[in-house]
Every structure is written in C-alpha cells, then in structure tokens.
C-alpha cells in the first residue's frame, strides 16, 4: 500500500471519528430546552380552577363548594350554579332546593345521569340508532365514489327503513317510565326533563385509528371524514350569528319517552340543551366542558361565559365534586341543637365536679388512733342518740356505787336519804347534787348533765384515795 492510499484511509477514519464525536457531544453535553406538560398542585386540588379564574377575569364573583352536601342552597347568591361531575348524586331534598332556586330566576348547569339498561328501550332516537353505527360501504360503491360522504338525511332514511315493527300496547305498558324507576336509578334533579347520557359509540368507532396499511383505502378515508364530523358539535346561541364549536367527545345526551323539549340546543341536541324552569334556566351538558383539561379546547370558554349571561346575576357558584359530606359536618348540620345541649350539660357536670379549688391536702398518716379518741367519739354518738345520755349516766353511776360499796360497805346499811346526806357531808358536796347524780334520770340540758357526771367523778376520786 503506497503512502497516498494510507493518507486517504487515515483521513477517512479521522472524519468518521470526528462525526461520531460531534454527535455524542451534541446529544450528551449540549443543554436543550424541552417543554414538559405538568399540572400544578392547585389545579390538581381544584378541577375547576381554570373556570374560576376565567370568570373572575370577566367580572363575575365566584364562590366554590366542595360538594352538594356542603352547599346551603337557600343562602346561595342569585346568578349561576355549576354542578361539576355530580350527575345523579343529588338527594331528593337537595334537588328540590336546587329547582326552587332555579325557578326564582337563576341558571343551573349540570350533567344528566347515565342511562340504565332498563331505559334503553325508552330512548327516542333522533338520528341513526346504535345498531346502524358506522356501517361499512360496499366495496363497489367505495371504488366508484371514494370521496362521497354519508349524509345525516341518508342515515335517517336508512334508519326509518330498517326499524322494527312498532311495539304493541301491552309491550308499551310493561316498559318502565322514569317515574317508576328504582330509587338507586333516579336522578331527582333531571328526571322531570327525561334526559340521559350514554356513550356515543359512533364517535368512538369513527375515532379508532386504522392500520397504517389501510389508511389509503376508500373506506378508511370515508371513516376519517365521518370522524372529523363527529368530533365537533355546533351550537348557535340565541341572538348570535355564528356557531360555537364544541368537542363532541364520546358522550351524548338522549331523550326518553315523554321528555321535555328544550328551548334551544346544539345541532343534534347531544352536547348542550337549555330548558326553562320557572323564571330560570337548566343547562344540561353531555361532558365536563369546563374542567381544567377541557376548558381551553374549542369554544368551551366562550360557551361558559355565554351561559353565565342567561340570568342577570353576576354571581357564580361552582360545586366541585360529588355529593360527599364529611361525617362531622353532616352531624353538625342535622344535630346542631342536640350537640349544643350535650356540650352545655357536660360543662355543667364538669363545673359541679370541680367546685372546690386550691392545693391538694396531704394524705393523712396511717397510724392508729388513741383510746381517748374512740371514747370521745363513742360519747359524742351516745349524746346524740335516743337514750344515749341515760346509758352514759348509768354506766358512770354503777361504776361509782360499786367502788363505794367495796371501800365502805357499811354505808349501804343506811336508808337512802341518810346515805345521800352522809356522802354529801363526807365529800363536801351539796346534798341535792348527790341525790340528782345517784337517783334522778339523765338531765336533758348540757349543764345539768355535766354536773351529774362531775358529782359522780368527785365521789369516785374521794373513795379511791
């Protein structure tokens, strides 16, 4: 190999090595800004944060409630109320309060409950039925007209020609009306309107992406065009000359038998419906258009502002979550007077138990009491007991006479009168006191009883010497 060839090979190797080095440095060492979509903690805690800020920026005053259970409807300000994500969870009492609030001239924005299996037979179809969704066109027609679209009128004609025979009177009588539903299938807020929500199977099926190899087929092209049509709902507001574009989503509203006709709605009535309720309005939406995720899409923000202008009030109340009330709030709301009464009773009992204040007294020593304390306590009890004084006097009298009989037995041979006089003369005591102490009953007065006992003690002390 000559030198020129070696030089070319070395240059080529150095070129490759330099390219690899540049690629590594560009991918590993260069700092590049990339957009990362994330949700703030405030938005995570409040799904209606974007709607709240939009309304406040446009001159509305907004208040929020965590759930229907926390909301005190009679005290809610006049204007608009948005019940977000709480379809079918209102209790009958809450629904009654909400409807009375709407009839006073306010606007309620809510979502209807999902349709139950028993209600599917009561659906009044306004377009193609579920069984005719996304029928594939014959290959011959698709080849001849690959860009031809299926019109709603054609779909309606096909539906009318393929409908089954009408139900008999007996079959109709057996169907359940919305009023006869079970309690767990009722939506007291919208039952009187006869509106339910169901999955929009046609939109879901049209939005399914075909395989890469099938994208250029005529049926795939037609399905893509139908998907574009199904992706949007058009709503022309009263007094406006242009239509708002709304995301049709995968949910649509349907009417049951005997449903109330709305004042106005979108083109097919599947996305937005507005009903009259007294002096106010009830707005039913098929999807949560006003959440943080959906509000920036299409014309949802303009729809929110337009709906809050249906009534004169500028106050907006947003109910953020389902009808869940914490146990302590429910207890306080329904049993407030009972809890206050119990608290007052407990306070009084505590006050009666803590009437005496001050330092604690030391515990008494565990030593035995003296004999005199027992004698004193026994005498105090006998003094107060019935016949107790006579017991004390008799005991002292018998003990004194027994002592004198032992010491001077000759005295007891005398008559009692001479005996009392001899004892009084010998002990230098009045004869009346000696006679009272040795002969009379126990005195009821303290002074006389004490004199009797003292006289007996003096006689005893004299003859004990």
Residues 329 and 408 occupy one common structural domain: no
The mean per-residue pLDDT over the stretch 290-313 comes to 89
Domain boundary among 334, 350, 381: 334
3-class SS of residue 81: strand
H-helix or E-strand containing 19?
helix 3-28
Residue 283 neighbours by CB distance under 10 Å: 21
**Long-range contacts: 41-44, Cβ < 8 Å, 24+?**
43/292
Looking at the domain assignment, is residue 103 inside a domain?
yes
Residue 367 lies in a domain: no
> How many CA atoms, within 13 angstroms, populate the side-chain half-sphere of residue 402?
6
Amino acid 112: pLDDT: 87
Q: How far is it, in rounded angstroms, from Cα 52 to Cα 43?
A: 11
- Which residue, 334, 357, 392, sits at the end of a domain? 334
Strand partners, 62: 316
Inside any domain, residue 274: yes
User: Who wins on pLDDT, 383 or 110?
Assistant: 110
Q: How far is CA 46 from the centre of its chain?
A: 17
Print the domain residue range for 437: 372-464
Same domain for 302 and 385, yes or no, is no
State whether residue 102 is helix, strand or coil.
helix
- Three-state secondary structure call for residue 108: strand
Q: Which of 142-156, 158-172, 322-336 has the highest mean pLDDT?
A: 322-336
User: 357 lies in a domain?
Assistant: no
215 vs 251: which has the higher pLDDT: 251
Locate 315 and state its tokens.
Answer: 């106050």
Pick the residue with more confidence: 61 or 203?
61
**What CATH number is given to the structural domain containing 264?**
3.40.50
Average pLDDT, rounded, for the chain = 77
Q: Are residues 386 and 274 in the same domain?
A: no
Rounded distance, CA 187 to CA 194, Å? 10
Flag whether 223 is in a domain: no
Give the chain's radius of gyration (CA, Å). 52
Residues 314, 381, single domain; the answer is: no
119 and 192 both lie in a single domain: yes
Same domain, 237 and 320: yes
* Strand 195-199 versus strand 251-256 pairing type: antiparallel
Which is nearest to 159 in space by CA: 167, 151, 147, 170?
151
From 55-69, 211-225, 417-431, the region with the lowest mean pLDDT: 211-225
**Is position 303 within any domain?**
yes
Is 167 a member of any domain? Answer: no
The residue among 240, 224, 248 whose CA lies nearest residue 297 is: 248
Residues 316 and 394 in one domain: no
Diameter of the chain measured on Cα atoms:
176
Q: What pLDDT, on a 0 to 100 scale, did the predictor assign at position 282?
A: 92
Confidence of residue 129 (pLDDT cuts 50, 70, 90): very low
Write the burial class of residue 135 (CB in 10 Å: 0-12 exposed, 13-18 middle, 19+ buried). exposed
> Residue 179: pLDDT band by 50, 70, 90 thresholds?
very low
239 lies in the same domain as 92: yes
* Helical spans, DSSP H, in 308-387: 327-334, 336-353, 371-384
Tens of pLDDT, residue by residue over 231-249, are 788 898 888 888 898 887 7
User: Is the predicted pLDDT of residue 140 greater than 50, yes or no?
Assistant: no
Is the pLDDT at 150 greater than 70, yes or no? no
pLDDT of 136 > 50? The answer is no
Most confidently modeled range among 101-105, 317-321, 370-374: 101-105
State which of 307, 334, 361 marks the end of a domain: 334
Mean predicted confidence (pLDDT) in 203-222: 58
pLDDT at 212: 57
The pLDDT-based confidence of 445 (bands split at 50, 70, 90) is confident
Report d(CA 254, CA 251) in Å as an integer.
10
Closest CA to 90 of 330, 321, 307, 329: 321
Average pLDDT over residues 376-381: 84
Helices (H), 182-291: 201-206, 218-230
Asked whether 68 and 83 are in contact (CB, 8 A), the reply is yes
Residues 300 and 391 in one domain: no
Q: What is the pLDDT of residues 75-97, one digit of tens each?
A: 788 889 998 766 666 778 888 88
Task: Name residue, tokens 């005991």.
Answer: 395
Q: Are 269 and 253 in contact (CB under 8 A)?
A: yes
268-285 mean pLDDT:
90
- Cα-flanking dihedrals φ and ψ of residue 277, to 5°? -140, 95
Task: For residue 403, give the H/E element and its range.
Answer: helix 388-407
Residues 399 and 299 grouped into a single domain = no
Higher pLDDT, 137 or 49: 49
Helical (H) or strand (E) element with 281: strand 280-285
Structure tokens at 194: 């006869």
381 with 450, same domain?
Answer: yes
Q: What number is the average pLDDT over the span 172-184?
A: 42
What number is the average pLDDT over the span 214-219? 63
Say how far apart CA 277 and CA 284 lie, in whole Å: 12
Q: Give dist(CA 279, CA 405) in Å, integer.
A: 119
Most confident option among 299-308, 313-322, 373-382: 299-308
Does residue 134 sit in helix, strand or coil?
Answer: coil
Asked, for residue 246, whether it belongs to a domain, the answer is: yes
Higher pLDDT, 142 or 450: 450
Task: Indicate if the pLDDT at residue 437 is higher than 70.
Answer: yes
At 386-425, the pLDDT tens digits run: 888 888 888 989 999 999 889 888 888 888 888 888 888 8
| Secondary element (H or E) of residue 233 | strand 232-236
Mean pLDDT in residue range 321-336: 70
327 and 413, same domain (yes or no): no
355 pLDDT more than 70: no
Instruction: Give residue for tokens 């009375």.
Output: 100
Total structural domains within the chain? 2
């Amino acid at each position: 190999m000559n030198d020129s060839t070696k030089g070319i090979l070395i240059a080529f190797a150095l070129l490759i090595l330099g390219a690899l080095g540049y690629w590594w440095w560009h991918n590993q060492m260069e700092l590049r800004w990339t957009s990362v979509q994330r949700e703030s903690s405030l938005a995570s805690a409040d799904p209606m944060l974007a709607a709240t800020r939009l309304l406040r920026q446009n001159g509305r005053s907004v208040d929020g409630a965590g759930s229907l259970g926390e909301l005190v409807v009679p005290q809610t300000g006049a204007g608009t109320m948005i019940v977000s994500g709480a379809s079918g969870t209102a209790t009958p009492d809450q629904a009654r309060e909400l409807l009375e609030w709407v009839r006073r001239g306010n606007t309620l924005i809510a979502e209807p409950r999902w349709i139950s299996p028993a209600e599917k037979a009561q659906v009044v179809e306004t377009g193609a039925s579920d069984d005719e969704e996304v029928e594939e066109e014959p290959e011959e027609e698709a080849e001849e007209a690959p860009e031809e679209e299926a019109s709603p009128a054609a779909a309606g004609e096909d539906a009318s020609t393929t409908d089954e025979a009408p139900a008999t009177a007996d079959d109709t009588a057996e169907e359940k009306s919305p009023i006869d539903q079970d309690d767990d299938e009722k939506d007291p807020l919208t039952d009187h309107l006869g509106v339910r929500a169901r999955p929009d199977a046609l939109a879901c099926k049209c939005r399914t992406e075909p395989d890469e190899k099938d994208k250029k087929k005529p049926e795939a092209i037609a399905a893509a065009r139908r998907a574009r049509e199904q992706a949007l709902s058009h709503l022309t507001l009263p007094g406006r000359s242009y239509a708002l574009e709304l995301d049709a989503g995968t949910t649509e509203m349907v009417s049951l038998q005997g449903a109330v006709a709305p004042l106005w709605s979108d083109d097919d009535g599947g996305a937005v419906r507005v009903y009259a309720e007294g002096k106010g309005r009830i707005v039913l939406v098929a999807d949560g258009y006003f959440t943080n995720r959906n509000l920036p899409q299409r014309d949802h923000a303009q729809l929110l502002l337009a709906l809050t202008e249906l009534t004169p009030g500028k106050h907006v109340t947003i109910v953020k979550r389902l009808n869940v009330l914490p146990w302590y709030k429910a207890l306080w709301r329904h049993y407030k007077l009972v809890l206050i009464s119990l608290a007052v009773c407990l306070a009084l009992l505590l006050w009666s138990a803590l009437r005496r204040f001050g330092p604690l007294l030391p515990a008494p020593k565990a030593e035995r009491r003296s004999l005199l304390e027992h004698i004193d306590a026994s005498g105090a009890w006998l003094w107060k007991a019935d016949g107790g004084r006579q017991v004390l006097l008799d005991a002292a009298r018998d003990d004194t006479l027994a002592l004198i009989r032992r010491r001077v037995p000759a005295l007891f041979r005398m008559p009692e009168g001479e005996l009392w006089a001899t004892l009084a003369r010998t002990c230098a005591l009045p004869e009346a006191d000696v006679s009272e102490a040795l002969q009379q009953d126990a005195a009821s007065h303290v002074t006389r009883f004490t004199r009797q006992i003292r006289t007996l003690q003096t006689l005893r002390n004299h003859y004990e010497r």
